[in-house]
Structure 1
Amino acid sequence: MRTGFAAAIALTTLSSTVCAQSSVTLYGTVDTGLLYQNTSALSYNTAAPNTGHIFRLKDGGIYTSIFGFKGIEDLGGGWQSNFKLQGAFDTTNGKSGLGGTAGVASLFSQVAQVGVAGPYGSLTVGRQIIPMTYAMAYTDVRQGDYFGSIFTALVSMNTAAGWPGTSTNAQLGAVFDDNAIVYASPNFGGVTASLEFAPGGVAGQAQGGTRESAVLQYDNYGLKLGAAYYNGHDTNPTPTSVATGLNNNRFYYAGALYTINGFSFSTSFSNGRNPAHSKTTNFDMISGGFGYRFTPAFELTSGVYYIKDENNSANKSTEFVLGTDYSLSKSTTLYAQVGYVDNKGKMNQSIEYGQPVAPGVDTTAAMIGIRKRF
């Protein structure tokens, strides 16, 4: 069965446990493929030149390779304590993924959290994959894959806004947040809500480096709906930056996914802007997707992702992607995918995460690979 960004995260909760009362589980995935792209760039800089075609082994055709530990302890009365430590790594060189500090790799680059859960919901604290990320991935036919999806479109909004790719702190929205406190409600007839607050920890400032978000989701009768609001202060800091408490990251998202008789359809709209300087950073993103599952093991998915600069009509980008997945077993998946992006002006929307393209250059990419869960 296909495992994209959302499913890969969710599947970490399905691993076998040591015992019923208290458990610690090791889990992970390894994902590697061959990537060909007819253009490339050395960085996400919006002035980076085209360095020509590239053919390489690339980690993360569906989702990055990860390993982690998680634990659950039954406290009685329907309550449990839990923890999760999860890090990304690159299968081509063994390096750990980037964390929230610019230019610094981190062992547990994605998740380092502890929490409690019970009849009234769950509360987790630490570095986390934030609720907004789940809402976006779960309402995209492509599920937030690392090759052509709502995730790579979000990354491309950020690169257009000046994200240098040296840390996971985004210019617009977010995927991971340090110091996050997240409450997730129980499920009420398919409706769930999540609230996040991340104190900045900046001396002498109440808002320096803070993040806050709210997410509302619905999942029932084959229909998934997601709405997200995110607000950040001092986003994408560098080692030399000074915290000002400036509100410079505001992101809205609304998306829907409907599945019936093997067919899947998705659509979404989002806006990311810098409230303090909206005349320089203000982007819209529109997506659409279609998929069909031929058999339990074989699925085809496609997506269109359009980004435009509200301040400059010359800056716009459209990406088209088509992918297939075939599950050899419950834990092993083969995939093949192809994408094309039409970049105009200074837009540099990329197809595969971690493989930049030059601004204003049309690009085609193709990738085949294998993903193994354990």
Structure 2
Amino acid sequence: MKLKVTATAALLACATGVHAQSSVTLYGATDSGLLYQSTSAASFAPNAHNTGKVYAFKDGGIYSSFWGMKGVEDIGGGYKVNFKLQGAYNSGTGRLGLASTTGATALFNQQTTVGISGPFGAFDAGRQYAPMSYALYDTDVRGAQYFGSILTAWVGMNQAAGWPGTNTNAPIGALYDDNALVYRSPKFYGASVALEYAPGGVAGQPQGNTRQSAVLEYSNYGLNLAAVYYNGHESSPADIAVPTGKNDNRFYYLGAMYTFHDFSVSTSYGIGKNPANANHADYEMVSAGLGYRFTPAFRVTSGFYYLKDRNNSANHSDEFAVGAEYSLSKRTLTYVQVGYVNNKGTMNQTIVYGQPVAPGTSTTAAMIGIRHSF
């Protein structure tokens, strides 16, 4: 009898342990390469001068170098509580990445979330990637990489709208959002929805510095579809300092990617504008991409990205990029990238994220690098 009681107690302890299982993981990646660019500029200003050719050690040919910690606790009934702390760093200098505020840095500048997931889907609170960033990734053959992709085209749209590149408060859409509350639904026959609201916390001004977005996605049978609506208030640092609830950030996006065996094709259309002053910022973005995986370890991707100022047809930009990636192992990837952009008027669409080009002229860039994940 004593043996049976002891065994039962042990089983109950094990069952309790299953529901209380938790883990913490350290993870990240280092991405470094050598970059050549035929033009450069000291800033993203539309009248910046061409400072000449650039030969440089560059962080982030595929994506930024980053590190983080994440944890999950199983609380039973199919529910889990989780957290994630993630920050970018420059692999060449060890410097931390940008924060939302100009001139400031943050240890975890990409994600600082706590949340819960279960049969209902997932809910996360804190600084995090805006849901629209996943939609861009899922509908671009180039995977929204830091070199010549839908991401750099979207950044080019923001630069044309006046983004100085010194903070993460972009005037059109968002890559990250502070104080964000994001719900992601389960997939239903391949369809899912993500809803975001970021309260501004401005006394006496409910709309001040707020963000709202909705993303509808479908993923099944090799087809990815995405529709994005993003709306923001007080997107510039000057407006944030004195928030009035001005609606000055609007982004619409439709994208699709289809993969059949080893061949992939993508296309998208987006509009970004300042609803409070559409005569100042109203842009159109079109993309197309092709890719082929020759072996499980080797693939080639290409993309074309077009930007147009809908207020001034003289301002437009065409960009083409191609890249080859080879996996040396499960965690280590080598790559070669080549890109060309032809900026007209005051346009200054970049080829490489964070690397200014001379506006109103053509630029060629090439990069070779290695990315290791841990």
Match in the other structure for 1:336: 336
Q: Aligned-pair distance for 1:236? A: 2.7
Partner of 2:13: none
Shift of 1:261: 1.8
Structure 1: how far apart are the matches of 2:113 and 2:216? 22
- Matching of residue 147 in structure 1 with residue 150 in structure 2: no
Q: Secondary structure at the match of 1:31?
A: strand
Q: Which residue of 2 aligns with 1:14?
A: none
Matched, 1:244 2:244: yes
- For residue 64 of structure 1, report the CA deviation from its aligned partner: 0.2
Bigger Rg, which one: 2
Q: By how many angstroms is 1:240 displaced?
A: 7.9
1: distance between equivalents of 2:338 and 2:238?
A: 35
- How far 1:102 sits from its partner (Å)? 1.3
SS in 2 for 1:205: coil
The residue that corresponds to 1:157 in the other structure is 157
> Counterpart in 2 of 1:54?
54
TM-score by length of 1: 0.94
Whole-Å Cα distance in 2 between the matches of residues 331 and 267 of structure 1? 29
Contact 2:247-2:276 at 8 Å conserved across structures: yes
Asked whether the equivalents of residues 101 and 238 of structure 1 are also in contact (C-alpha less than 8 Å), the reply is no
C-alpha separation between the residues in 2 aligned to 1:311 and 1:206?
Answer: 31
CA contact under 8 A between 2:20 and 2:75: conserved in structure 1?
no
Letter in 1 for 2:193: A
Q: Partner letter of residue 265 of structure 1?
A: V
Q: What SS does the corresponding residue of 1:173 show, helix, strand or coil?
A: coil
Asked if the contact 1:152–1:352 (Cα under 8 Å) also holds between the matched residues in 2, the reply is: yes
- The 5 A counterparts of 1:299-338 are 299-338=299-338
Count matched residues.
356
Matched with 1:346 is 346
Partner residue in 2 for 1:92: 92
- Say which SS state the counterpart of residue 237 (structure 2) adopts: coil
What letter is aligned with 2:124? Answer: T
Partner of 1:202: 202
Tell me, yes or no, if structure 1 residue 43 matches structure 2 residue 43: yes
Letter in 1 for 2:96: S
**SS at 1:311 equivalent:** coil
Give secondary structure in 2 for the equivalent of 1:52.
coil
Structure 1 residues 160 and 91, CA gap change in structure 2 (3 angstroms): same
Instruction: Name the counterpart of 2:15.
Output: none
Aligned partner of 1:296 in structure 2 is 296
**RMSD across aligned C-alpha pairs, in angstroms?**
1.1
- Consecutive unaligned residues of structure 1, counting only runs of 5 or more, are 1-18
- Is the partner of 1:137 in helix, strand or coil? helix
Shift of 1:319: 0.1
Residue type at the aligned position of 1:35:
L
Shift of 1:20: 8.5
Letter in 2 for 1:230: Y
Q: Cα offset for 1:238?
A: 4.3
Unpaired runs of 5+ in structure 2? 1-18
* Distance in 1 separating the partners of 2:210 and 2:253: 20
Between the aligned partners of 1:30 and 1:102, the Cα distance in structure 2 is: 25
- Alpha-carbon distance between aligned partners in 2 of 1:57 and 1:24, rounded to the nearest angstrom: 33
Q: TM-score, length-normalised on structure 2?
A: 0.94
Instruction: Return the alpha-carbon distance in structure 2 between the equivalents of residues 354 and 156 of structure 1.
Output: 10
Identify the residue that residue 9 of structure 2 maps to in structure 1: none
User: What code does the residue aligned with 1:267 have?
Assistant: T
Contact kept, 8 Å, 2:274 with 2:281, in 1: the verdict is yes
> Contact 1:218–1:224 at 8 Å: present in 2 too?
yes
1:8 maps to none
Counterparts in 2 of 1:221 and 1:245: CA distance versus 1, 3 Å: same
Question: Where do 4+ consecutive residues of structure 1 move more than 3 Å?
Answer: 238-241
Residues 150-171 of structure 1 deviation map (CA, whole Å, 9 limit, x = unaligned): 0011100000000001101101
The match for 2:7 is: none
What SS does the corresponding residue of 1:134 show, helix, strand or coil? helix
Partner of 1:124: 124
